[in-house]
Amino acid sequence: MTFDLTISVADLLLLLPEIFLTCWLCVVLIVDFSCPRLPHTRLAFLSVIGLAATLACLAWFDATHVSGALFGNMFVLDRMAIFFKMFVVGSTALVILASMQYVDRFTLFRGEYYFLVVMSALGMMFMASANDMLSLFVSIEFSTLGFYILVGYLREDLTSNEAGLKFFVLGVFAAGLLAYGISLVYGETGKLVFSEMTPTHTTGTMIGFLLIFAALGFKIGAVPFHSWIPDTYHGAPTPVTAFLSIAPKGAAFAILIRLFFVALASFKPIWVLLLVAVSILSMTYGNIVAIAQRNIKRLLAYSGIAQVGNVLIGLAAGTKMGSDAILFYLLTYLFANIGAFAVVIAVAQAIGSEEIDDYSGLNRRSPFLAFAMLLFLLSLAGVPPLAGFIGKLYIFIAAVNEGLYTLITVGLINIVISMYYYLVVVKKMYINEPTDPSPVSISGPMKAVVYIGLAGTLVIGIYPQPVIEWVVDATLMFSNMVGPSAVVTPPLPPFGG
Partner 1 sequence: MVEYILLYILFAPFAGALALIFVSNRQPMLVRGIAVASTFVCLVAAVYLFYAYDPVKGGFQFVQKFQWSKELGIALHLGVDGIGTPLVLASAVLLFTGVFVSWHITDRTKEFYIWLLILAAATIGVFMSLDLFFLYFFYEMSVIPMYLLLGMWGSHTKKYLEMTDPEGVKLRDSVGFIFNFGANSKEYAAMKLVLFLSAFAVVALMGILLIYKYSGLNTFDILVLREQANLMNIPALGTTLDKIIWILVFFGFASIAPIWPLHSWSPVGHAAAPAATSMLHAGVLMKLGHFSIIRVAFEILPDTTRELMPIAAVLCVFSIVYGGLVAFYAKDTKYVIGYSSSSHMGYVFLGMAALNYVSLSGAVIYMFAHAMATGMLFAMAGWVYDQTHTRDLPSLGGLSNKMPFIAGCFVVGCMASIGMPGTVNFIAEVMIIVGSWNKYPLQVIVAVLGIVLTMAYLFNMMRAVFYGPMSQKYSHTRDAVATVDRLPLLVMIAVSVGFGIFPMQLYDVVRSGVDPLVAKITYVAPVARTDDETGSIGRDPAPGADRPPLLATHPRPRSLTSYASREHE
| For partner 1, the closer CB: 227 or 401 | 401
Cα 433 from Cα 238, distance rounded (Å): 26
* 420 sits near partner 1 (criterion: CB under 8 A): yes
Q: Does 276 bind partner 1 (CB under 8 A)?
A: no
String of b and e for 268-289 (b: at least 16 CB within 10 Å)? beebbebbbebbbbbbbbbbeb
The smaller minimum CB distance to partner 1, of residues 230 and 453, is found at 453
- Provide the terminal-to-terminal Cα distance of the chain, rounded to the nearest Å: 31
Other CB atoms within 10 Å distance of the CB of residue 176: 12
Residue (34 or 465) nearer to partner 1, CB: 465
What is the enclosing helix (H) or strand (E) of 471? Answer: helix 465-474
Listed ranges 104-112, 210-218, 302-310, 412-420: which one lies at the site for partner 1 (CB under 8 A): 412-420
| DSSP letters for 336-381 | HHHHHHHHHHHHHHHH---BGGGGTTHHHH-HHHHHHHHHHHHHHH
Q: Among 396, 450, 477, 481, which residue sits at the site for partner 1 (rule: CB under 8 A)?
A: 396
Question: Which part of the chain contacts partner 1 (CB under 8 A), choosing from 48-56, 184-192, 263-271, 468-476?
Answer: 468-476
455 binds partner 1 (CB under 8 A): no
Asked if 463 is part of the footprint of partner 1 (rule: CB under 8 A), the reply reads yes
Residue whose CB is less far from partner 1, 72 or 385: 385
Per DSSP, helices labelled H in 153-266 are 158-189, 203-220, 229-235, 238-258
Looking at the Cβ atoms of 197 and 378, the one nearer to partner 1 is 378
Comparing CB distances to partner 1, the nearer of 33 and 463 is 463
Chain centroid to Cα 67, Å, comes to: 23
C-alpha 144: how far from its chain's center?
13
Separation between Cα atoms, residue 131 and residue 143, nearest integer Å: 16
- Tell me whether residue 210 or residue 393 sits nearer to partner 1 (CB atom): 393
Q: Is 401 in the site for partner 1 (CB under 8 A)?
A: yes
- Residues 432-451, one symbol each (x = binds partner 1 by CB under 8 A, - = not), give --------------------
Residues 356-385, interacting with partner 1 (CB under 8 A): 363, 367, 378, 383-385
Q: Which residue pairs from 464-468 have beta carbons closer than 8 angstroms and sit at least 24 positions apart in sequence?
A: 464/328, 464/387, 464/390, 467/328, 467/331, 468/324, 468/328, 468/394
Under the binding rule (CB under 8 A), the answer on residue 16 touching partner 1 is no
Q: Is 134 in the site for partner 1 (CB under 8 A)?
A: no
Does 421 participate in binding partner 1 (rule CB under 8 A)? no
Residue 316 interacts with partner 1 (CB under 8 A): yes or no: no
Alpha-carbon distance of 401 to 219, in angstroms, equals: 28
By CB under 8 A, residue 459 contacts partner 1 = no
Interacting residues toward partner 1 by CB under 8 A: 324, 363, 367, 378, 383-385, 389, 393-394, 396-397, 400-401, 403, 408-409, 412-413, 415-416, 419-420, 423, 426-427, 430-431, 463-465, 468-469, 472
